[in-house]
A and B are shown apart, each in its own frame.
Chain A
């Protein structure tokens, strides 16, 4: 574990150089410890793949104190198992109609589009980070056979619910936005709804399993094309 200065009121804790589910679980554990032990000095926490950004209240605590308290609290944050995680099922309508980049991904690995879909469905994914936009969850990691770099030219409009791949990450777009990820399907579940409590169906550390649905099911679950 390495603590670096990020800014006047922020430190970043690096837990590893690369990520894996254990590193991510350790970070999640650190978030829990910090929230429990020093809520009065914490403004915001941003867990990500291998790091945790800690934004603190400089009117309540100085640079030395926060560093000391973090070192103490995170003295032995390594954990030996991945702990209890919530499993969230997200339905996806995979098709060439809803996933215009399925063919590109298939061609890259000389496999069929159905194989791409089966491979994407074939494992559970961990929520490594949430950011970029409200409700945008970075899920990892997809099988190497379907890992695909971002589009050279991002699309102006990616629809809400688009299920996408960028390198070994996959995600569901929470709102219509520009985007450069490869689109493979559409998910009718709202990933961010500010009027709901909780406003997101997933959180960092959750396990995600995709489930294939057909066009009619997609529409009946509220999806639009």
Chain B
């Protein structure tokens, strides 16, 4: 089958669709794109199915050679992109031809870029999804990150016109983020002084952050819990281990764990967190679950109302 060839895989490039749901009973995690909004836009610009398989390019460094005439879109983190050496824009559709060389440099602002191809990459599903979870050796190509020489199958497709997303509608990636938290789980095992400290301090993103969890560094938070039974962990859950340094659990989190949790970061904000580099600063703001649902609906309706423009 026609497709794109991986010349240089970059630091961490993974096949992702929306994720693997309904397989927690086997111990399989959700996976899926760390920044779902940027992922969605890559597919939407091309008119793809919302669950079409894309590449999540962490930190950049990806070089591909096209073996097909097709159309691509690159969204998410800002990184220098060239086609046969000429600069190309992100957040827009772009036709490529057989033999073209596509290069994504290293990320300048943000850390996760998404590359979609018209019709999506044709990757077999395992347990209902193409999402790669390297720790589980599941999904993608051989359950692993992209390697040089990998073939990314996709159909030849041409689109009548090109589309782009106007700059004011694109997410802004920076060097800090406010993370909205729905308090929950063992929140009552943290006394008011701990709550005050947690919600009024800045935390730094450490370099021990990955798709499983983002480890933060800052004022120590203590819980009154000594030992607890392992229990299910949801997306964004904030674990406080014995060293008092919070870990925000992300897409590739283990499905159960035994550390106390003070609440969970809402998914829209785990996406912002995922775009930060080590050294960036975050702070937490507590919101009710009702407000979290309102924010979800607002973001969803904003996304649906926003239309890409013709080039």
Contact = CB atoms under 8 A, between A and B. Distances in A.
Contacts of A174: 27
Given A130-B27, A131-B256, A46 B184 contact: no
Nearest to B143: A194
Contacts of B267: 8-9
Interface in A105-138: 129-136, 138
B229 A131 contact: no
A224 to B, nearest CB: 18
Interface residues of B, number: 43
Given A9-B234, A12-B232, A48-B256, A134 B26 contact: yes
Contacts of A138: 230
A6 B230 contact: no
B229 A19 contact: yes
A5 B296 CA distance: 16
B250 interface: no
Contacts of A38: none
A5 B297 CA distance: 19
A190 interface: no
Interface core residue of B25, B28, B234, B267 (most chain A CB under 10 Å): B234
Given A8-B293, A43-B21, A46-B24, A134 B136 contact: yes
B266 interface: yes
B38 to A, nearest CB: 19
B138 interface: yes
Contact of A49 (B26, B231, B261): B231
B232 A133 contact: no
B126 A194 contact: yes
A5 B183 contact: yes
B23 to A, nearest CB: 8
Interface residues of A, number: 43
Interface string B249-291: 0000011110001011011000000000000000000000110
Contact of B22 (A10, A43, A51, A203): A43
Contacts of B256: 46, 48, 129, 131-132
A71 B178 CA distance: 34
Contacts, number: 135
Given A7-B263, A203-B25, A51 B229 contact: yes
B231 A12 contact: yes
Main secondary structure of the interface of B (DSSP, over half): mixed
Nearest to A19: B229
Contact of B127 (A18, A55, A194): A194
**Could you tell me the dominant secondary structure of chain A's interface residues?**
loop
A129 B230 contact: yes
Contact of A8 (B30, B232, B266, B300): B266
Nearest to A167: B227
Nearest to B186: A4
A79 interface: no
A44 interface: yes
A85 interface: no
Interface in A45-87: 45-53, 55, 58-59, 62-63
Contacts of B26: 130, 134-135, 192, 199-200
B296 A8 contact: yes
A134 B27 contact: yes
A204 interface: yes
30 contacts: A4-B184, A4-B185, A6-B237, A6-B264, A7-B182, A7-B236, A8-B182, A10-B235, A12-B232, A44-B23, A48-B256, A51-B231, A51-B232, A52-B232, A53-B231, A55-B234, A55-B235, A59-B300, A63-B290, A130-B26, A130-B255, A131-B232, A131-B256, A132-B256, A133-B136, A134-B26, A174-B27, A194-B138, A199-B26, A204-B25
Interface of B: 21-28, 30, 126-127, 135-138, 182-185, 229-237, 254-257, 261, 263-264, 266-267, 289-290, 292-293, 296, 300
